[in-house]
Structures are given as structure tokens and as C-alpha cells.
Structure 1
Amino acid sequence: MYDYAIRFERDDTPGLAVFCRDLPQFHSYGDDEQHALSEAVDGIETTLSIYVDERRAIPAASAPEAGERVVHLPAVTVAKIALWNAMMDRDMRKADLCRLLGVHQAQGDRLVDFLHTSKMEQLEAALSALGKRLAISVEAA
């Protein structure tokens, strides 16, 4: 659902530029494909922060097209996306989430901060408060 497809483009400079159809604000760069893939996760998480700052729902990933590579986000990031989108469905602000969970503003802010690592237990509790349950599956690589 949130495994975003990216594409590489070469230009006159060494390395690869990286783009994502589903996240038009996302732009990244890598020295080679492996470096570009590792940088893509950080770039996507930074882009997701823009959606939070603009109070917009985060789009689901579309199926990859020919020539695209798929970026698998960390489980914590996917849980934060689910939490943020559940908040957007209810027109909730971060302050509303803090009141609902009975936590301080800074603690609630970190739950939807894609550049901060949160504990899965905290994200599960927040999702549960919004009537959601986190389900994780394991697939072959």
C-alpha cells in the first residue's frame, strides 16, 4: 500500500536523479543505483513531512511501471502514514490527537513526525484510539 515506485534518470552529471510519480514533491539523488535506493527512503520520509505540514492526506502507492524500482518503507513509517491518514479522515489536528491520547504536545507531534523514530507500541495505541488496528505481514524478499 505504501511501497512507492521510483524511477532513475541520468543527466550530464555523474550519478542518478530519483523521482516518484505518487509523490511529485519527492526528488532525490544517488551516486549509483544502490546509493540512490538508500537515499530514496530518507527522501520519501522527508516528502511525507511536507504532507503533514500542509495537512494533506498521504497518497497510497500505485503499481510500479516498467523500469521503476519499489522502495519498501520501514514498518514504523507505514504505521505513521496510517495514523496520519486516519487523522485526516477525521479532520483531526495534532492537538486533537494529544488530547485523545492524554499526552503532551511534543509526544503527540513525534507520532506523526516521519524524521523521528517512534515506538510501535505508541503508534498502535494511537491507531487503536482512532478505531484502527495495525496488521503486519512478512513476505519473501
Structure 2
Amino acid sequence: MTGREFIRKVKALGKDRGLPVRLDTSRGKGSHQTYFGSVFTVVRNPKVELKTGTFHAMCATRRRAQRSLRFIMERFEYAVALTPADEGGFVVTCRDLPQLITQGESVADALAAAADAMDEVFATYMLAKLDFPHPSKQRRDEHRVAPPPEAVAKAALYVAMRESGISNVQLARQLGVHEKEVRRLLDPHYASKLPRIAQAVALLGKRLVIGLDAA
């Protein structure tokens, strides 16, 4: 299989599975960086024969990335119920997070309010050093909601640290920073940068994945 044939095969597979495929030819003469969803490889010369293992490894990596994404979303997405209010609009509650009670005038407004409320519930759990409950299976009349990406990232770091048993001081030492920097990464009300949180998560043997799903 030549590089060109490889690219055509990846494009066909992406079309069949509904995954975006993109070529980046800015890497230099003859070099094509091929993106298959969130996975990519570099085809140095489209005319040269490629090992069949390259294609299979790319597909295997894509499957692992999808499993990681599902794990992250399942871990920090919760089902919420929208109950019509007598005055109009909806009251929002969550079986797994009983502290989450909010409202909205429309379905979209109610779900947006649920995400905002979930952000604060996540902060409460983290500050109180509580374990996040495992999300229950979504019922037919429920909607799955997650807080903003920054809250998910901090929650992922919080959970990873609790599971590994590592302290703030130990993680700070691995990051080469003062302990207060780790406290800021865990502070739900401090605006930390996602790459920094991802670095801390990686040191704990995990991978931070932020996904984009259809609404």
C-alpha cells in the first residue's frame, strides 16, 4: 500500500464511520500529516510503500481514543430530569446529584441552567473532599448534562489524585512547582489553564480528553 492509497483508505473509512479526515501538507515537501478524528500520522512520501501495520495501528489508536472519551464523558455526565412547572417552564433535578435543583423557561434554558448548577455542585464535592457518585443509566425522559470543560478537567484531576493516593506536595514535586500551584489546579473557582491540568493528569498515568458531541 502506497502513501496515497493509505490516505484514500483512511478517507473512505472516515466517511463510512462519520469521522473527520484532514490532510495537512504544510509539514514540508512530500510530507502529509493525516488526521483521522483525533488521531494522526505522518506520511513522509505518498509514493512510498507503507507497512499494513501503520493503517491497523492508526485504527486501533482511534478505538482506544474513543474508549477514553466515553470513559471521561460517562464519568462526569449525569442524567437530569425536566419536570414541567405549573407556572410554565421546567424544574431541573438530578438523581445522582440531589444538590442540583434549578429551573429554566425552555428545555434549552433548563439544560444550560443545569450545566451551570452542576459546575457549582462539582465545586462543592471537591471542596468537601467527597467522592463523585457513579452516573446512573439515563432514563428515557432524562437528559445527560456535563458542567463546563474547565470543571470536568479539574474534576478529572481531583479523581485521579484520590485514586492514586498522591498528595498535593508529591504532585507539586513531580511538576516542579510550589504546592500552592497544585492547590490552584484543584481550586474549582480558580481559572487554571487546561494544558497545565492535562500535564498534571498525565503524571498520574491518565489522559485528559475533552470531547465535542452533538447537542
TM-score by structure 1 length? 0.80
* 1:82 counterpart = 2:163: no
Q: 2-side partners of 1:102 and 1:5: how far apart?
A: 39
* 1:114 counterpart = 2:188: yes
Q: 2-side partners of 1:83 and 1:132: how far apart?
A: 9
Q: 1-side partners of 2:211 and 2:181: how far apart?
A: 27
Match of 2:145 among 71, 86, 90: 71
**Contact 2:122 2:151 (8 Å CA) reproduced:** no
Task: Return the structure number with greater helix share.
Answer: 2
**Contact 2:172 2:182 (8 Å CA) reproduced:** yes
- Unaligned 5+ segments in structure 1 are none
* 1:103 counterpart = 2:103: no
**Contact 1:45 1:115 (8 Å CA) reproduced:** no
Superposed counterparts of 1:1-141, under 5 Å: 1=74, 2-94=76-168, 96-141=170-215
- Residue identity in the other structure for 1:26: L
**Residues 10 and 51 of structure 1, relative CA distance in 2, 3 Å threshold:** same
Q: CA deviation at 1:29?
A: 1.7
Higher relative contact order (CA 8 A, sep 6+): 1
**Residues 72 and 55 of structure 1, relative CA distance in 2, 3 Å threshold:** closer
Q: 2-side partners of 1:64 and 1:25: how far apart?
A: 18
**Contact 2:116 2:147 (8 Å CA) reproduced:** no
Q: CA deviation at 1:13?
A: 4.1
- Residue identity in the other structure for 1:50: T
**Contact 2:82 2:91 (8 Å CA) reproduced:** yes
SS in 2 for 1:65: coil
**Offset from partner CA, 1:83-113 (integer Å, 9 cap, x none):** 1111111344545544443434553233223
Q: 2-side partners of 1:113 and 1:20: how far apart?
A: 24
Aligned length: 141
- Unaligned 5+ segments in structure 2 are 1-73
**Contact 1:18 1:27 (8 Å CA) reproduced:** yes
SS in 2 for 1:121: helix
Moved more, 106-115 or 55-64: 106-115
Q: CA deviation at 1:121?
A: 0.8
Moved more, 18-27 or 73-82: 73-82
TM-score by structure 2 length? 0.56
